[in-house]
Amino acid sequence: MNLVANLKAADRRVTTLADLNENQQAAIRRIPAEKDAVVEPIEATRPNAVFTGRERYDQEQAGIFRRFPVPVTLSALLPDPGMVVANDSYGVPLLISRTRSGEIKAFVNACQHKGSKLVEDCEVHKQGRMTCPYHAWTYGIDGKLIGVARNDAFINLDKGKRGLKELPAREWGGVVYVQLDGSDPDWSQLSDQIAADFESLGIPSAHVYGRKTFDLKANWKTVLEPFLEGYHVQRLHAASIGDMFPDAPNVVDLFGANIRQVSGRIGYTPQMLDEDASQNVHKLVTHAYTAFPNCVVVTSQYYISVMILMPRDVDRTVVEYFMLTPGPATTDKATEVFARSYELIISVFGGEDFRAAEISQAGLTAGVPAETVYCGLETNIVRYYEALEALL
């Protein structure tokens, strides 16, 4: 795109190879030239019930999505103290806030009087307090109950004991994780290396350029699979981005149940990395992460895509998509480039990857195929399922 070449440096803020951490750099240097890449064939299958079975879905809910903290939103969505956003995507009404001290907190979005939601939309709000629309009980951004309408009508009402129900929460590499059932959290599945990678990519301090929610008729793993393999790219994306990526395997590192994939773009050779130390490494290399258990991160030349794939039923997944840029556009040219990029990626993910998930789910729900078979360009899917199944 010629527009990109004309962007001001302030709008581009390129990431060079040296900006990445040593572990990331080492992984990139393992990428072979496109002509030297070899696909190793595999023999692997998964039964239909993995995508359609109620028993498997319930096992995942109990053994993963309620047992461990899960991603809910991004730090970048709440950059300033006093910000709050509601999120119902896991089927639990949540409030995520950044307190005056800058700390991230998570609460059940329910008034302690009669359970009414305090925030009814999913927009980001900046405010010092939250008032229940039902009986006007008022809470601070830290969850404390600070005001009760007609307080004189209650006997022995202790406001100190009726703050919002808080859930354990943590920022991890710019992603906000929450323990949905409120139990003591087990953070062991979150990789320090993946968090360091996200920090090197600038995710915690990025600007949320665009955000869109998709409600898909597909199992969450059917939605996830395209982001774990390159087999579909030159086929499903033939009319959009397929000519940018080779039909070659990725360089893969597993960190527990987290996967990092790095791959060169069309025509890549390792020598390209050292031709210009100031060049944008994302122009040569694509990163694709699956962060435990359902957060997908994909790098592009001037923006990063983050998706959280939230299961709502066996055949329903809510996906929240974020397009991150280093900062807001400061020129008309940057405004145009970012807008075109957002339009492209929404059409690729929404109109191609997500559409593929839904039309695949239709056949799977009908019982066909009885088992899914995977090839050597889909090895990461099998690796990831093995990691998840070990936790189940």
Query: Residues 250-299: pLDDT tens digits?
Result: 899 999 999 999 999 999 999 999 999 999 999 999 999 999 999 999 99
- How would you write the chain as a 3-class SS string? CHHHHCCCHHHHCCCCHHHCCHHHHHHHCCCCCHHHCCCCCCCEEEECHHHHCHHHHHHHHHHHHCCCCEEEEEHHHCCCCCEEEEECCCCCCEEEEECCCCCEEEEECCCCCCCCCCCCCCCCEECCEEECCCCCCEEECCCCEEECCCHHHCCCCCHHHCCCCEECEEEECCEEEECCCCCCCCCCCCCHHHHHHHHHCCCCCCEEEEEEEEEECCCHHHHHHHHHCCCCHHHHCCCCCHHHCCCCCCEEEEECCEEEEEEECCCCCHHHHHCCCCCCHHHCEEEEEEECCCEEEEECCCCEEEEEEEEEECCEEEEEEEEEECCCCCCHHHHHHHHHHHHHHHHHHHHHHHHHHHHHHHHHHCCCCCEEEECHHHHHHHHHHHHHHHHC
Do residues 318 and 215 make contact, with C-beta atoms less than 8 angstroms apart? yes
What sign has the CA pseudo-torsion 388, 61, 312, 308?
Answer: negative
pLDDT of 141 = 96
pLDDT of 5 = 43
Residue with tokens 């949540």: 94
Residue 210 has which token pair?
């665009």
| Average pLDDT value for the chain | 94
pLDDT of 321 = 98
pLDDT of 6 = 45
Cα distance between residue 142 and residue 152, in whole Å:
24
Q: Is the peptide bond before 369 cis (omega within 30 degrees of 0)?
A: yes
pLDDT of 243 = 86
pLDDT of 106 = 98
pLDDT of 284 = 95
pTM exceeding the 0.85 threshold for the entire prediction? yes
Q: Are strands 125-126 and 316-325 parallel, antiparallel or unpaired?
A: unpaired
Residue 355 has which token pair?
């559409």
Q: Which residues contact 364 (CB under 8 A, 6 or more apart)?
A: 48, 51, 52, 219, 222, 372
- pLDDT beneath 50: ranges in the chain: 1-12
Cα distance between residue 74 and residue 70, in whole Å:
12
Residue with tokens 């597909």: 218
Kindly report, residue by residue over 351-388, the tens digit of the pLDDT.
999 999 999 999 999 999 999 999 999 999 999 999 99
pLDDT of 18 = 96
* CA dist list (Å): 68 to 197, 239, 309: 21, 39, 15
Which residue type does 246 have?
P
- DSSP bridge partners of 107: 95, 166
Cα distance between residue 107 and residue 116, in whole Å:
13
For the chain, which domains are there?
A: 2-65+189-391 (3.90.380.10), 80-167 (2.102.10.10)
Do residues 203 and 306 make contact, with C-beta atoms less than 8 angstroms apart? yes
Residue 241 has which token pair?
């981005």
